[in-house]
Amino acid sequence: MNNVAILGVGMHRFGLWADRSNAAMAREAGLEALRDAGISFADVQAAYVGHIWAPVTAAVRVMKEFGLTGIPIQRIENASATGSAAFREACLAVESGRYEIVMVLGFDSMTRMLKQAARGPKPEGVEDIILPSAFFAMWATRRMHERGTRPEHLARIAVKNWNNGALNPNSQRQADSAITVEKVLASRMVAWPLTTMMSCPVGDGAAAAIIARPEIARRLQPGRPLLRVVASELQSERYAPGHVFQGPVVGPAQMTRDAAQVAYDEAGIGPEDLDIVQVHDAFAIEELEYYELLGFCGEGEAEKAIEEGWFEPGGRTPFSTDGGLIARGHPGGPTGLAQIWETVHQLRGTAGKRQVPNARAALCHMMGGGSVCAAHVLVRD
């Protein structure tokens, strides 16, 4: 991918916003992205909109908040990877030459969805009864059996992400004092060994990005670093002998390894070239597994890497610099775009107290139930 640049980003803080509509949150994120890009909505030639929980036609209705200009509007859904999948479609549309400037928008309100879900699963959905927390607890207990992982390793990942989130103005969870391993371990148990502080919260929010041809970014923003999307990969699970069909939570871990390797090959770089990484850390065990699956350490080495602080601020390759799903939040539709928002600010050097020095290359990784895996590589020219 050679002809895709990020012109602007915007975000509505993730949180519990029962009194705010999807349209209001999306409008705030979208207008911020347009201002950041230095354009008006009249300059946008197409829109890709991601949401999971909103009703049918929500994408088109929300886009009316910006104006009625006749542009094509396409709704995208891919579970937790919805925002990432919408971002990919926008990038492909610009890369193809069909459009020069495209908006990508994600929004969702999980608080409204949970009120409906509280009525209980329908009989035809009985296979969905294993909740993500229980599923990933199984990942954790298996890892503990095979690798000697301890709850303290998971807690240290959560500590990192909570403390990163406290430095992010758009993070849902913002602790007023430093979080410790002891505090994480003492929080309420969800599904052993995962506690509430090792798990992402329920919330609402929106995020947006403006994608454009690089020459347009150079013309409109001559004083700003050019940020390019050099790889975009989306894969689903592959059948293999002994394959277990695990329902709608997430497929085999191999999906992450495969998608990331294709993205690395497309970008012409490897894990050693990346300065920051954002991952789908809905539960701390996921981030631990992705250290290895994404190639940042060898198999069985993640625990040692955690103990030595490889992925903390100031470490070899900081992960989840904005707090990740655990602290920044995970409404669904906008989550992948929140990763893009954070990565853009890191590569521009505008991430404030959480800034990774001299960040020039980054990976954004997202999983989606069903199951899919998205991987994007962003670089600063």
pLDDT, tens only, 199-220: 999 999 999 999 999 999 999 9
For position 127, what pLDDT does the model report?
47
Asked if residue 212 belongs to a domain, the reply is: yes
Instruction: Report the domain count for the chain.
Output: 1
294 domain residue, yes or no: no
Q: What does the mean pLDDT of the chain come to?
A: 94
Report pLDDT digits (tens) over 326-378.
999 999 999 999 999 999 999 999 999 999 999 999 999 999 988 899 999 99
Asked, for residue 86, whether it belongs to a domain, the answer is: yes
- Residue % of the chain over a pLDDT of 70: 94
Domain that holds residue 105: 5-115+203-220
The distance of Cα 217 from the centroid of its chain, to the nearest Å, equals 24
Strand ranges (E), 217-369 = 227-236, 276-278, 361-368
In a domain, 81, yes or no: yes
268 domain-assigned: no
Under DSSP, the state recorded for 99 is -
Q: Is residue 302 part of a domain?
A: no
Whether 189 is in a domain gets the answer no
Residue 360 has a pLDDT of 98
pLDDT tens readout for residues 109-142 = 998 777 665 555 555 554 444 578 888 999 999 9
CATH of the domain at 79: 3.40.47.10
Q: Residue 215 CB: number of other CB atoms within 10 A?
A: 12
Strands (E) across 171-292 are located at: 189-191, 194-195, 204-212, 227-236, 276-278
